[in-house]
């Protein structure tokens, strides 16, 4: 074998070795990003789960309130309308791909939270509701669900932060760009949340 052939074989072997190393690196980075994205999707599914729990509790809560008191119609109408709006927003993982859809989802859930808060504050005027066992159980379940929502939103934000950091780091951002990994949005506090709500009886 002549010297030129040997050099060619060494160069080809070196290039093949570099291609294997590079391919292995890209595959490792891709798999890490894929796993992280799936963790974000799992956290999102938990957020959906607790929001659905709240949606399921609302009709029972409204019916109990309507049945016990001559309740302000506008209050439970507002809750029903907010629930209806929230139910129309798509909840699949595709919401995470569209920041505007995510904002709509967050806004409708915020409207529903506000309407529920108004309902529960208004209930204070009705002692017979505060003594009704069904209402108390539903109220307790709703409060527990609101706590779960806060916990799951926090977990989602943490998981999204880890994922966003992973795909934003160099050289991961190159692999992410080529492979179509996009940043995930975060849940944010509603505008005006820093101010305490005004409660009037």
Q: Look at residue 195 and tell me whether its pLDDT is greater than 80.
A: no
Residue 2, in any domain of the structure:
no
User: pLDDT band at residue 2, thresholds of 50, 70 and 90?
Assistant: confident
HEC readout, 69-113: CCCCHHHHHHHHHHHHHHHHCCCCHHHHHCHHHHHHHHHHHHHHH
Residue 75, in any domain of the structure:
yes
Question: What's the rounded Cα separation, in Å, for the pair 20 and 76?
Answer: 64
Residue 184, in any domain of the structure:
no
Q: Work out the mean pLDDT of the chain and round it to a whole number.
A: 86
Residue 151, in any domain of the structure:
yes
Share of the chain above pLDDT 70, in %: 90
State pLDDT tens for residues 146-168: 999 999 999 999 999 999 999 99
Residue 112, in any domain of the structure:
yes
State pLDDT tens for residues 88-116: 886 778 888 888 889 989 999 999 998 88
Question: 């060494």: which residue's tokens?
Answer: 10
**Residue with the larger pLDDT of the pair 124 and 40:** 40
Question: What's the rounded Cα separation, in Å, for the pair 84 and 38?
Answer: 29
Residue 117, in any domain of the structure:
yes
Residue 191 pLDDT: 65
Residue whose C-alpha is closest to residue 193's, from 117, 138, 122: 117
State pLDDT tens for residues 9-51: 888 999 999 999 999 999 999 999 999 999 999 999 999 999 9
**Beta-carbon count within 10 A of 76 CB:** 20
Residue 40 pLDDT: 96
Phi, psi of 118 (to 5 degrees): -60, -40
State pLDDT tens for residues 73-83: 777 788 888 98
Residue whose C-alpha is closest to residue 78's, from 104, 49, 117: 117
> Domain containing 167 — which CATH number?
1.20.1440.20
Residue 65, in any domain of the structure:
yes
Print the domain residue range for 43.
20-179
Q: Look at residue 174 and tell me whether its pLDDT is greater than 80.
A: yes
Number of domains the chain is built from: 1
Residue 195, in any domain of the structure:
no
């Amino acid at each position: 074998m002549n010297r030129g052939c040997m050099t060619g074989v060494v160069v080809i072997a070196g290039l093949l070795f570099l291609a294997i190393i590079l391919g292995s690196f890209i595959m490792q980075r891709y798999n890490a990003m894929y796993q992280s994205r799936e963790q974000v999707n799992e956290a999102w599914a938990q957020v959906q789960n607790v929001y659905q729990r709240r949606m399921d509790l609302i009709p029972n809560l409204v019916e109990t309130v309507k049945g016990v008191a001559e309740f302000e119609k506008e209050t439970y109408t507002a809750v029903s309308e907010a629930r209806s709006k929230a139910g129309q927003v798509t909840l699949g993982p595709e919401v995470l791909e569209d920041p505007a859809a995510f904002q709509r989802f967050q806004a409708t859930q915020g409207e529903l939270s506000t309407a529920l808060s108004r309902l529960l504050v208004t209930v204070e005027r009705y002692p017979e509701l505060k003594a009704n066992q069904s209402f108390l159980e539903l109220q307790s379940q709703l409060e527990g669900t609101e706590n779960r929502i806060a916990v799951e939103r926090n977990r989602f934000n943490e998981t999204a932060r880890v994922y966003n950091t992973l795909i934003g780091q160099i050289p991961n951002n190159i692999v992410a760009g080529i492979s179509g990994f996009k940043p995930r949005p975060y849940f944010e506090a509603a505008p005006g949340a820093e101010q305490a709500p005004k409660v009037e009886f």
